[in-house]
């Protein structure tokens, strides 16, 4: 099964993908995390992506598409996965469809997690992330048990460069511009399912499971 999670930054795609991964065993592939890992490791790809990622702009399609197609061709995700943060442009959406079709596969569902912009700004500004395991926390909504320390692995939490106010504004603008065409693209294919992303984590998760079970 191939599923896409669509939503603006801060909508909860990562949180929900991690929950679904545990519940239904669908592997989680996230382009943001792939870029951050390459930046940490100082790879060529990381060096190319870094200025875009840190300022909140989209990494160019030719870099992003190559990285993602390479990732989903690997054995651990060969039977399907949940994509989080990809596609973010129509070009990326088309490239994914073509690559899956070339392999005799297809995308099953695109789930849009809907959250109002004001709420997203609030969420991103208070977000702290774990550099080691990728877990995310929120200062007030979902604080770690011990301030500044990851519950899962004990690493020191940090605030992502692109969760700082200026980059947050750029990320939301860029993603807003690209979102509607993507929603239309999947709506026309009859694959789009919308989930209200403003409730409790558990309620959002239920809405996502309904989408996966085919309730549109």
Q: Which amino acids are annotated catalytic?
A: 13, 88, 127, 160, 171
Minimum separation from the CB atom of position 52 to ligand AMP (A): 5
Cα 67 from Cα 61, distance rounded (Å):
10
- Locate all alpha helices (DSSP H) within 42-137, ordered by sequence: 44-55, 61-72, 90-102, 117-125
The residue whose Cβ lies closest to ligand AMP is 32
Q: What is the Cα gyration radius of the chain?
A: 16
Cβ-based nearer residue to ligand AMP, 12 or 56: 56
3-class DSSP assignment, residue 70 = helix
Q: Is the dihedral of CA 201, 39, 5, 73 positive or negative?
A: negative
Q: Report the alpha-carbon distance of residue 56 to residue 172 in Å, rounded.
A: 9
Could you tell me the smallest distance in angstroms from the CB atom of residue 214 to ligand AMP? 26
SS3 188: helix
For residues 77 and 81, give the distance between their C-alpha atoms in angstroms, rounded to a whole number. Answer: 6
Q: Which residues bind ligand AMP (CB under 6 A)?
A: 9, 31-32, 35, 52-53, 56-59, 64, 85-88, 92, 162, 171
**Nearest CB to ligand AMP, comparing residues 66 and 147:** 66
Two structure tokens written together for 195: 């989930």
For the bound state, the minimum distance from the C-beta of residue 146 to ligand AMP, rounded and expressed in Å, comes to: 24
Choose between 12 and 85: whose C-beta lies nearer to ligand AMP.
85
Q: Judged by CB, which is closer to ligand AMP: 174, or 195?
A: 174
What is the nearest approach in angstroms of ligand AMP to the Cβ of residue 144? 19
CA angle 200, 19, 49 (to 5 degrees): 105
- Smallest CA-to-CA distance from 126 within 8, 5, 10 is with 10
CB of 159 to ligand AMP, least distance (A): 13
Closest to ligand AMP by CB, 55 or 141: 55
């Amino acid at each position: 099964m191939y599923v896409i999670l669509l939503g603006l930054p801060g909508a909860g795609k990562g949180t929900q993908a991690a929950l679904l991964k545990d519940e239904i065993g669908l592997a989680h592939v996230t382009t943001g995390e792939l870029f951050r890992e390459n930046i940490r490791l100082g790879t060529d790809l990381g060096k190319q992506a870094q200025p875009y990622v840190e300022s909140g702009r989209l990494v160019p399609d030719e870099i992003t598409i190559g990285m993602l197609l390479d990732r989903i061709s690997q054995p651990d995700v060969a039977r399907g996965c949940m994509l989080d943060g990809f596609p973010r442009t129509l070009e990326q959406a088309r490239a994914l469809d073509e690559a899956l079709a070339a392999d005799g596969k297809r995308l099953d569902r695109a789930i849009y997690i809907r959250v109002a912009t004001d709420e997203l700004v609030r969420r991103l500004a208070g977000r702290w992330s774990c550099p080691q395991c990728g877990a995310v926390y929120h200062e007030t909504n979902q604080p770690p048990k011990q301030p500044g320390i990851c519950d899962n692995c004990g690493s020191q939490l940090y605030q992502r460069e692109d969760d700082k106010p200026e980059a947050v504004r750029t990320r939301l603008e860029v993603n807003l511009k690209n979102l509607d065409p993507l929603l239309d693209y999947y709506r026309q294919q009859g694959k789009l399912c919308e989930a209200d992303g403003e409730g409790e984590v558990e309620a959002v998760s239920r809405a996502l499971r309904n989408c996966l079970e085919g309730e549109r």
